[in-house]
Structure formats: structure tokens, C-alpha cells
Amino acid sequence: MTKIAVIVGSLRRESINRKLAHALAKLAKPGTEFTFSQIDDLPLFSQDLEPNPPAAVTRLKGEIEAADGVLIVTPEYNRSIPGVLKNAIDWASRPYGKNSFAGKPTAAIGTAMGSLGTAAAQQHLRSILAYLHVVLMGQPEGYIVFKQGLIDDSHAVTDENVRKFLQTYMEKFGEWIERHGEKK
């Protein structure tokens, strides 16, 4: 059983990135378990709270630590990642020396309505993740252009070419976790 913690960088109920995350979970190989990490209840990061972190922070760190890999699905806001995602990353990587991401096989993907998908946001995210010592999957990159109806209400991808790409993406991520994950 491979366990993947999923962090969606959007709080919107009808988030297209949340839809993408659920579609990706459906496309993963059998025996893969997904935990969708909640980030909407995290307080703004403050070092003052580190000695006694809020329960939401402890939960997030625990979900990441228990996972074999981390999948980050992010929108793009103003050519970068959303503040709520950066806040979650800051909490999970702190306090110094207790970085929950360290050594975790990680992949980043996202979708947007624009023709560049989430390319700029993912470049910023990759820079942050490199500092956090994750084992970041470089290829394939996933900058998905979202169109209405691309993902139906049951989280099935309706465009055959996109579905094939996303299935390959999840296969490659599964292989990445097997190759670079902790030996248990």
C-alpha cells in the first residue's frame, strides 16, 4: 500500500485544482491510498506558536510524515503559488530541524484556465521545495489547461489525451516514490 498526502493549494469548494487532485487519485494504481490534507484551518504562520503548535499544524505534519509521497496540486495566483499553500508549507517544514517534507518523494502539478496552465506557480513551488530537501519529481511536468467539462462530477477525465497523460503522470509518480522513498 502506497500512501500519498495530497495538498491542494486552493480553498474554493469548486476548485478546479481540487477536481484535478481527485481525478489523479482515481487514475493511480490500485493499492494507493490518498489523504487529502486540510489546510483551511491553519493559522497564519508565526514562530511564536512553534513551541505549542495548533492541532491543525500537528495534524498536517503527521499526515505528511505518515505518507510515502506528497502530491501538491496548485493553482496560480499572480504568477506564483497561493498564500494558503505557502502557509501550509511553512508550517509543515518548521520548526527548524523538524521539516516534515525532508526526504519525501514529491510531485507538483496544477491546472488553470489560461494557456500556460500553472507553469509560473510551479517554478516558484519547485524553488521552495528544493530548499526543503524533498525528492522532487522533475518529469513529467504537469501544466494542465482546464476547460469546462474536462473533469466530470465523478472525477473522471473526459478528454482521452489528457486522461492518458494524467495516468502516465501518476504511474511515473508511483515509480518515483518506489525508487526514492524510505525503505521500510
pLDDT digit string, tens, across residues 115-160: 787 999 999 999 999 999 999 999 999 999 999 999 999 999 999 9
Q: How many domains does the chain have?
A: 1
Q: Is residue 184 over pLDDT 50?
A: no
pLDDT digits (tens, 9 = 90+) for 28-84: 999 999 999 999 999 999 999 999 999 999 999 999 999 999 999 999 999 999 999
**Phi, psi angles (nearest 5°) of residue 51:** -60, -35
What is the pLDDT averaged over residues 18-31?
97
Residue owning grid cell 469548494: 13
Closest C-alpha among 137, 133, 124, 126 to residue 92:
133
What is the span of the domain harbouring residue 11? 2-180
Residue 183 confidence (pLDDT) above 70: no
Burial class for 117, CB neighbours closer than 10 Å (0-12, 13-18, 19+): buried
C-alpha cell at 158: 473526459
The pLDDT of residue 114 is 85
User: How many residues are present in the chain?
Assistant: 184
> Could you tell me the pLDDT band of residue 182, with boundaries at 50, 70 and 90?
confident
Beta strands in 39-161 (DSSP E): 69-73, 105-112, 135-136, 142-145
C-alpha distances in Å from residue 106, one per residue of 11, 54, 130, 184: 21, 25, 10, 18
CATH code for the domain of 145: 3.40.50.360
d(CA 117, CA 54): 34
